[in-house]
């Protein structure tokens, strides 16, 4: 049975392989040594912390081998599309989502092409395939050298999942995860790691927007505040800060996430019901449509437009709902049709008025 221990430096839960005497944290790179006399609980209850860690002096010095765009632009984006080709988990629209999101960022929000890193299975560069290792390194890259005034975007389209949380820092008792293309052999990327990698380091004056198109993605960035909105547009911010008191916010910066389901239990749709042309993620498509159709002035307007697009998909299927022309040539062919049941929603590091706060990337 795998043993769950906490990193002795950042306290991130780590799964200790059977028989191992130490483990290196993927987030802070501290080495946690296991004291055989300590009472680690193999049933994943509260753990005792081992002796002080040994920390490598420069945990990200190997990032130079990760061939990416320049990491010092004012605008920077990481876009990941995972289709799990030739497997029983295959999705049809995720690479389309990635291409459309890149097109939107470049043409609508003036992101330099050189500041956008894409990981998809179509990439010939082995460092740009959406493996667990590459996704982790890309997340580090996204916040590397981040300064006040920087605008960061993280877009993910692919499978998401859940796993039991044993540290008490999840309201629903589950950690949310992203599924790399090699997740069956290398494992999942857990929300705790995502939070520690791209949320906590954000300095004051910097902002991060995430658009997550996957199942169980309501709180995949582990942001502490959750916007609960009803079908009439009324909303309330729910406090999802862990009872343990662990801080899940930023270092003064701003982090806001649009996710594919308003709750962690909701699933996302890989569908042709929206574009009528090819498979897309419903979350990604509705976000792009909201921006392109002029509903991008505030977060509330974007959210309501996204929800309207998804709710009306079935009734508009025969009515010719189409992509704006500028995006048609970005799409490929293929696809399955599924019923759309998710409700896009917001999470953030701090509550705000969604109808007055301007949206900008």
Strands (E) located in 98-185: 116-120, 151-157, 160-164, 174-178
For residue 338, pLDDT over 60 is answered with no
Tens-digit pLDDT profile for residues 91-119: 888 999 999 999 999 999 999 999 999 99
SS3 146: coil
pTM score of the predicted model: 0.73
For residue 315, pLDDT over 80 is answered with no
CA separation for the pair 240, 2 (Å, rounded):
28
For residue 247, pLDDT over 90 is answered with no
CA separation for the pair 274, 312 (Å, rounded):
9
For residue 171, pLDDT over 90 is answered with no
At residue 280, the pLDDT reads 55
Tens-digit pLDDT profile for residues 118-131: 999 999 899 999 99
CA separation for the pair 17, 72 (Å, rounded):
37
Provide the residue ranges of all domains of the chain, joining segments of one domain with +: 1-59, 71-348
Tens-digit pLDDT profile for residues 185-224: 999 999 989 999 999 999 999 999 999 998 755 678 999 9
Among 70-74, 273-277, 333-337, the range scoring the smallest mean pLDDT is 333-337
Task: Give the CATH class of 71-348.
Answer: alpha beta
Name the nearest CA neighbour of 162 among 95, 261, 257, 88: 261
Residue in the block written with tokens 């449509």: 289
Please list the active-site residues: 159, 215
CA separation for the pair 195, 211 (Å, rounded):
14
């Amino acid at each position: 049975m795998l043993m769950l221990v906490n990193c002795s430096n950042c306290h991130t839960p780590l799964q200790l392989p059977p028989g191992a005497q130490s483990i290196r944290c993927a987030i802070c790179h501290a080495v946690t040594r296991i004291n055989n006399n300590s009472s680690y609980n193999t049933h994943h209850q509260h753990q005792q912390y081992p002796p002080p860690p040994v920390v490598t002096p420069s945990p990200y010095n190997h990032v130079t081998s990760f061939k990416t765009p320049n990491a010092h632009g004012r605008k920077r984006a990481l876009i990941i599309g995972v289709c799990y080709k030739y497997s029983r988990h295959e999705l049809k629209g995720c690479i389309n989502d990635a291409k459309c999101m890149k097109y939107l960022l470049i043409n609508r929000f003036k992101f330099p092409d050189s500041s956008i890193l894409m990981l998809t299975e179509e990439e010939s560069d082995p460092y740009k395939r959406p493996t667990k290792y590459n996704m982790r390194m890309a997340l580090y890259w996204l916040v590397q050298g981040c300064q006040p005034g920087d605008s960061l975007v993280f877009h993910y389209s692919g499978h998401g999942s859940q796993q039991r949380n044993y540290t008490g820092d999840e309201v629903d008792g589950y950690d949310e995860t992203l599924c790399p293309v090699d997740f069956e052999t290398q494992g999942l990327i857990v929300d705790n790691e995502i939070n520690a990698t791209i949320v906590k380091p954000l300095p004051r004056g910097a902002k991060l927007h995430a658009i997550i198109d996957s199942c169980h993605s309501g709180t995949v960035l582990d942001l502490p505040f959750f916007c609960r909105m009803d079908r009439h547009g009324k909303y309330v911010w729910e406090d999802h800060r862990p009872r343990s008191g662990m801080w899940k916010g930023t270092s003064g910066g701003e982090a806001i996430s649009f996710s594919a389901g308003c709750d962690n239990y909701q699933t996302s749709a890989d569908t042709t019901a929206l574009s009528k042309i090819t498979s897309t993620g419903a979350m990604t498509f509705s976000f792009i449509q909201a921006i392109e159709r002029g509903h991008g002035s505030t977060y509330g307007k974007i959210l309501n437009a996204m929800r309207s697009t998804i709710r009306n998909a079935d009734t508009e299927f025969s009515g010719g709902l189409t992509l704006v022309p500028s995006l048609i040539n970005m799409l490929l062919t293929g696809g399955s049709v599924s019923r759309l049941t998710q409700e896009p929603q917001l999470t953030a590091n701090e509550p705000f008025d969604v109808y007055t706060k301007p949206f900008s990337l």
